[in-house]
Amino acid sequence: MKKRWKRISVVAVLIAIVAFCVNAVVAHIVEKKQEIQYQSQLTAYRAAVKIGTTRADLESYLQSRGLPFRHLCCALVTSGSGWDDLVKIGSKKPPWYCNYSNTYIAFEFPRTADDPLGSDRLQNIELYPYLEECM
């Protein structure tokens, strides 16, 4: 009887290990597919909105397509920092210490010495992963 329970225990442990590994592989595949989708959306935005576009023209473009956006200071800091426009393109399960893990397309309007509130010309478009409401 003891041998039988040992075998059942070993089988149960092996099943748990296999299930854990399969779950990890599936999660990795889902993450890679999501990253491909994000890159595709980034490419589409870069094709539709050109560097040098004014903030007013970008926001008009986004509104005309029903795309909600938000402003965030200093999302991208390639050359100074200013108020950037963000469009949410996805989310995933956040780490335990945050409520949200979102991915945005960030449109950078950097601050300059002669315009301390932020330039009105688009300088960069990038993906912006953002953990929100964290402890």
Task: Tell me the pLDDT tens digit for each residue of 71-122.
Answer: 988 887 665 567 899 999 999 999 999 999 999 999 998 766 666 555 678 9
* Average pLDDT in the chain: 87
- The pTM is what? 0.79
Q: What share of the chain is helix, strand, coil (3-state, %, to 5)?
A: 40, 30, 30
- Domain with 119, as residue range(s), is 2-134
Domain count of the chain?
A: 1
| pLDDT of amino acid 113 | 63
| pLDDT tens per residue across span 29-38 | 988 999 999 9
Give the whole-angstrom CA distance, residue 75 versus residue 126: 10
